[in-house]
A and B are shown apart, each in its own frame.
Chain A
């Protein structure tokens, strides 16, 4: 059976546009609000990534850190995150949901328990920032058995040989990190170079869905629309932060940004 993720990419390919993937943190700023945000943006988004907030994130920049700390401070727990996904999937059951987080939050639940909860709530895929290949071999195999996509990450530092090996173990989507940076960094590499690296991946595995993330904003998204998919995270977390600062509704703040992003790539 085709995964929701694969179907989402096929739809975008038919429409000759890249998929738009959003990243927001579960529980930011509250459990209820983060679900409202997902529901509001879903019509404009092809795949939603839901961040599992972690309090010692080694690969996240300031914006996502702020969102994560805010969510944790407001009491979000792992079990709430699965409830958020379940609620979201109730009326949008084919919209793919990818959970993104750090391995310790999975490890403490136990891999099997965690995957069972993923399955029960309708999670389609997982990105585990600090579980690189080949350390992720066992876990990604477990995911595959449960028909949950384990999404491999590639970066500008990934060598060609390593890339081949990682791609061999990839499922329906891979994630290319645009530059040497934590999330939310300023795009310090030209879109031309990013797309050149992107093409190298596509050459190895033409049928694979490759998304680009890190440093993508309203300003930069248009220049990368040749990719199969584009991930925007920090810009949305920032929208939540500034809405809260201005005592406005973060749902509207995020929705505005998402609409603008979408307009730039269709």
Chain B
């Protein structure tokens, strides 16, 4: 079994080939990208320990992102389910409405340090794109966002924001026209423009350096949470479950990061993948359904694919989770048994949205609704000494049309 080392940041637990646990991640990239990836790797290795850079990051996290995001008890939901006490880390209160803002701000700052004026990124739910367009505007960078044609239609509110921020959306028509195709197209664009352009991958996926930058950025979530929990409980609870949806895995990686060294009997990590439509065989849950290891977007990971190595099609009501792969970090956490992964179907996520939005002053997007679905499933079976905290990492405004159509109402 793979082992996680204590007191070493998770992102640094790779070997000299950038593989976690000797098998996940790496840099499976075309020769042309070797140098830009190396340059970025060196730059980030320096910046992450540079006091001025960290000050700058913290300044923007506080004054621009709005740190800390609230940590609240969901009293009505807790009483309704009658088991564990349920809390939420309301990351959707961050500027822009989701956790994608952390990665976007850090990439924009790095882009400036690298002396580049152009920044490009991929997006599925549109949040990574929206946040990158915000950060680009704030820091005076020209921005292009790659997005699957299907996602452009189903996540229109975020597309409107991207355009309003002055960024260009490049629609991707190949393959399933979703996130997987957007990431491919963005990488292809970078191959052709890496001399002038900085690339920001929207989640903890891609060549190793992008996984590192992203998880390092979202770690802000758990840095805040530890302080908030100590304040609320006087300590880290004796029985704590941190539940997070996983698409690429950036939100979960950030939500769990600072809790990594706690014993898993005390702090359990639960990742919830997209199970897709109830009656469909298509899903976006490579960890839950034991997919095989393959190479996707420059990294080895568990990925939905056929015997020949063609990447498989996925389906999910949630554009942000609709991705056949998963971060090498989560593959590592799974094989080290540090985290447990499960999935929720489209229908379960919708029902979770319904219940949470009815009972609480909260309107989680379809991605975190998957996490709430798992909380709703397990809370009644647990006693009140158990604390469940769900990362409510996105706001549902972008999903208004989908939710209205499926549930007949929108909060």
Contacts and interface: CB of A to CB of B under 8 A. Distances in A.
A132 B17 CA distance: 12
A205 interface: no
Interface stretch (B78-86, B220-228, B288-296): B288-296
A120 B175 CA distance: 33
A158 B191 contact: no
A131 B33 CA distance: 11
A69 B174 contact: yes
B307 interface: yes
B292 A132 contact: no
Contacts of B310: 54-55, 72, 105
B34 A65 contact: no
B67 interface: no
Contacts of B311: 55-56, 104
A56 B180 contact: yes
B231 to A, nearest CB: 45
A191 interface: no
A107 B32 contact: no
A159 B35 CA distance: 8
B323 to A, nearest CB: 11
Contacts of B309: 54, 78, 102, 104-109
A181 B184 CA distance: 14
Given A54-B310, A56-B180, A107-B295, A180 B31 contact: no
Interface string B169-188: 00000110000110010011
B27 A135 contact: yes
Interface string A176-205: 010011100100000000000000000000
A177 B31 contact: yes
Given A130-B298, A182-B191, A56 B34 contact: no
B30 to A, nearest CB: 4
A265 interface: no
Interface in A198-231: none
Contacts of A180: 32, 191-195
Interface residues of A, number: 40
Contacts of A57: 184
Considering residues A58, A59, A156, which has the most beta carbons from chain B within 10 angstroms of its beta carbon?
Answer: A58
Contact of A65 (B174, B193, B292): B174
A162 B34 CA distance: 10
Contact of A157 (B26, B32, B181, B308): B32
Considering residues B28, B184, B194, which has the most beta carbons from chain A within 10 angstroms of its beta carbon?
Answer: B28
B188 A58 contact: yes
B112 interface: no
Contact of A130 (B35, B180, B292, B295): B295
Contacts of B295: 102-104, 107, 130
A180 B309 CA distance: 27
B54 to A, nearest CB: 30
A163 to B, nearest CB: 10
Contacts of A181: 191-192
Interface in B365-396: none
Nearest to B324: A56
Interface in B337-385: none
B194 A153 contact: no
B40 interface: no
Contacts, number: 112
B157 interface: no
Interface in B272-308: 292, 294-298, 305, 307-308
Interface residues of B, number: 36
A135 B294 contact: no
B29 interface: yes
A108 B308 contact: yes
Nearest to A153: B31
Interface in A113-142: 129-133, 135
Contact of A129 (B30, B181, B192, B296): B30
B36 interface: yes
A155 B309 CA distance: 26
B175 A108 contact: no
B189 to A, nearest CB: 8
Interface string B21-45: 0000011111111111000000000
B178 to A, nearest CB: 12
Contacts of A55: 175, 310-311
Contacts of A162: 34-35
A60 interface: yes
A170 B53 CA distance: 41
B28 A177 contact: no
Contact of B192 (A78, A158, A182): A182
A77 B310 CA distance: 10
Given A58-B187, A181-B191, A107 B294 contact: yes
Interface string A247-259: 0000000000000
B116 to A, nearest CB: 14
Interface string B11-27: 00000010000000011
Considering residues B26, B29, B305, B310, which has the most beta carbons from chain A within 10 angstroms of its beta carbon?
Answer: B310
Contact of A135 (B17, B35, B184, B192): B17
B335 to A, nearest CB: 18
Contacts of A72: 310
Contact of B35 (A60, A109, A158, A182): A158
Shortest beta-carbon contacts, A-B, top 7: A108-B309, A157-B35, A104-B295, A104-B309, A105-B309, A155-B32, A59-B30
Interface of A: 54-61, 65, 69, 72, 77-78, 102-109, 129-133, 135, 153-159, 162, 177, 180-182, 185
Given A65-B174, A132-B34, 15 more contacts: A54-B309, A55-B311, A56-B311, A57-B184, A58-B188, A59-B188, A69-B174, A104-B305, A108-B294, A132-B27, A132-B31, A135-B28, A157-B36, A158-B35, A185-B192
25 contacts: A56-B175, A59-B32, A61-B188, A65-B174, A69-B174, A69-B175, A72-B310, A78-B308, A78-B309, A104-B295, A107-B309, A108-B292, A108-B294, A108-B305, A108-B307, A130-B298, A132-B30, A132-B31, A132-B34, A133-B31, A135-B28, A156-B32, A157-B32, A180-B193, A185-B192
